[in-house]
Structure 1
Amino acid sequence: MSSLEFLLFSVLMVLVFLSMVLFVLSGQITVRRLRKIPEIIGGLGVEYIGGWDIVNVAQALALPRSWMAKLNDSPLAVLCANAELLCRHTNRFDRILANIFYWMLMSAFVLCVILVLFNVFGLWAE
């Protein structure tokens, strides 16, 4: 394992660990409170597996509002959380937490894909 590969893998593991911690915090602080609001019950998006609504909420709060508005007007609107509704019922701290969590999760995902592709194509020096 080269030193660059080890460094990238170490960064990936730190990102994954911090994402897991922020996932739990976001679920306990933000989504738990949102689930209790009757107006929002249908606005958290489809939950494929347990906890997926936490990622839906983070995505809705982290992506630009213009993107979410286009997504909410599309036939796929059922799959994602309603950003406009969530913004009305969250505070600044919730949005900052969602942004940090979502972009850290996406960074970990992209870095993981890059490491796998480098490994598949043999781009690491032996």
Structure 2
Amino acid sequence: MRTSTLIFVFLIFFLLLTMILFVLFGQITVRKLRKDPKTKHELGMEFASGWDIINVAQSLALPRSLVRKFRTTPLSFMSANPDLLIQHTTKFDRILAFIFYWTYIVTGIFIFIWVCLIAAGVLD
């Protein structure tokens, strides 16, 4: 088996894992937050269906100081309110958000790098 094919198999595995975590986090945590009137409108802007799942995961996974800086910019309406979300989530929700968000980001970066290496001819 060629190296590029082996890398592709690992990327597909992590992509499937990310999809499963996306659905789990959406059904377990974000669904609960959407039903709560206090947090319903604090989940950030939703460009496409499910985008608020990524907003919530980002707010719970990134360091609070960084997310609070995002909230002071003119584009603050796009991100979720981390302080309010922390009050209305459990430790399990925050751990699930951390695992989902970083799996999502790392998988996306590695897929991009893999495509660039294939296009450049480094991997065959």
User: Which bin holds the TM-score, normalised by the shorter protein?
Assistant: over 0.9
- Number of residues paired by the alignment? 124
Shift of 1:44: 0.3
Q: Higher helix share goes to which structure?
A: 1
- Provide the aligned C-alpha RMSD in A: 1.1
Structure 1 length-normalised TM:
0.94
What's the % identity of the aligned pairs? Answer: 47
Mark the runs of 5 or more structure 2 residues left unpaired by the alignment: none
- Structure 2 CA distance for aligned equivalents of residues 20 and 44 of structure 1: 20
Deviations, residues 15-69 of structure 1 (Å, cap 9, x unaligned)? 1101111111101100000011111122100111111111111111001111101
Instruction: Provide runs of 4+ in structure 1 moved above 3 Å.
Output: none
- Structure 2 CA distance for aligned equivalents of residues 85 and 67 of structure 1: 15
Partner SS, residue 43 of structure 1: coil
- Structure 2 CA distance for aligned equivalents of residues 11 and 107 of structure 1: 12
Structure 2 length-normalised TM:
0.95
Mark the runs of 5 or more structure 1 residues left unpaired by the alignment: none
Partner of 1:92: 91
- Structure 1 CA distance for aligned equivalents of residues 75 and 10 of structure 2: 34
- Structure 2 CA distance for aligned equivalents of residues 78 and 70 of structure 1: 13
